[in-house]
Amino acid sequence: MPSTRDSKEPGSVHATIESWLEKVHVDQHIDIGVLRESVRSLCLAIEAILDDQSSSKNYQTLYGSCYFVCIHTSRIFLFHLIKKLIETHLNKFTEKLSVELNGSGAIFLNEIANFWREFRMSVDILNNATLFLSEKSNKKSGICSTKMCARQLLASNLVESPKFESKFEKSLIKLISKVTSFSNPYLNTLTVLSQMLCDVSDQKYRKIFITCTYHVFRSNFELFLMSLKEQNYFLESVLKIDEFIYKTDHVFYRYVTPESFDLIRSSAIQILIDKQFDILKELPKHDVLFLIKNKRFEDLLFLCNFFGQNKTLFDRYFQHFHSKMLEYITFCNSTNAKKINVIIPIPEYLEIIFDFIHFVNHIFKYCFKSKPQIKDNFKKYPKLFVRSHIYFDHYLLQIINDWLMSSESAVLWSISQESQENVDRFSFFIKMRNVTNTFLDRYEEMLLKRLLYDCFSPSKEHRIFKILLKHFGPSQMSVVTQILEDSSQIQLINENYAKFASRFVGSCYFYQHFFVILSCFITSKCQPLFPLWLF
Give the C-alpha distances (Å, rounded to integers) separating 496 from 9, 404, 458, 488, 500. Answer: 109, 20, 7, 22, 6
Mean pLDDT of all residues in 457-472? 44
Comparing CA positions, the residue from 280, 174, 181 lying closest to residue 225 is: 181
Is there a contact between 350 and 356 (Cβ–Cβ < 8 Å)? no
User: Can you give the pLDDT at residue 15?
Assistant: 62
Query: Tens of pLDDT along 143-200?
Result: 455 455 555 544 444 444 445 455 555 655 665 555 555 444 434 444 555 555 555 5
35 pLDDT above the threshold of 60? yes
The residue segments making up the domain with residue 19 are 11-161
Is there a contact between 109 and 151 (Cβ–Cβ < 8 Å)? no
pLDDT band at 16 (very low <50, low <70, confident <90, very high): low
Q: Which of 35-44, 54-63, 417-426, 479-488 has the highest mean pLDDT?
A: 35-44
Q: Report yes or no on 296 lying in a domain.
A: no
Mean pLDDT of all residues in 337-366? 42
Q: Report yes or no on 261 lying in a domain.
A: no
User: Can you give the pLDDT at residue 487?
Assistant: 40
> Cα–Cα–Cα angle for 118, 123, 124, nearest 5°?
140
CB contact set of 43 (below 8 Å; sequence gap of 6+): 7, 13, 14, 17
DSSP element (H, E) containing 409 = none
For residue 142, give the CATH number of its domain: 1.20.1310.10
86-90, 116-120, 286-290, 326-330: lowest mean pLDDT where? 286-290
Q: Report yes or no on 212 lying in a domain.
A: no
Q: Report yes or no on 17 lying in a domain.
A: yes
pLDDT band at 214 (very low <50, low <70, confident <90, very high): low
User: Can you give the pLDDT at residue 212?
Assistant: 59
Q: What residue type is assigned to position 123 of the chain?
A: V
Q: According to the 3-state scheme, what is the secondary structure of 311-348? A: HHHHHHHHHHHHHHHHHHHHHHCCHHHHHCCCCCCCHH
Sign for the CA dihedral angle at 198, 200, 206, 212 comes to: negative
140 pLDDT above the threshold of 60? no
Q: Report yes or no on 52 lying in a domain.
A: yes
Give the C-alpha distances (Å, rounded to integers) separating 181 from 94, 146, 220, 481, 509. Answer: 20, 12, 7, 63, 70
CB contact set of 422 (below 8 Å; sequence gap of 6+): 414, 415
Q: What is the total residue count of the chain?
A: 535
Q: Report yes or no on 497 lying in a domain.
A: no
pTM: 0.27
User: Can you give the pLDDT at residue 89?
Assistant: 54
Query: Tens of pLDDT along 104-133?
Result: 444 455 555 554 444 444 444 445 544 444
46 pLDDT above the threshold of 60? yes
CB contact set of 162 (below 8 Å; sequence gap of 6+): none
Cis peptide before 185 (omega within 30 of 0): yes
Domains: count for the chain: 1
Q: Report yes or no on 35 lying in a domain.
A: yes
Give me the chain's average pLDDT, please. 47
Read out DSSP for 472-508? HHHHHHHHHHHHHHH-----PPPHHHHHHHHTTTT-H
Is there a contact between 352 and 325 (Cβ–Cβ < 8 Å)? yes
The better pLDDT of the pair 201, 304 is held by 201
Q: Report yes or no on 311 lying in a domain.
A: no
464 pLDDT above the threshold of 60? no
Q: Give the integer Cα–Cα distance in Å for 115 and 125.
A: 13
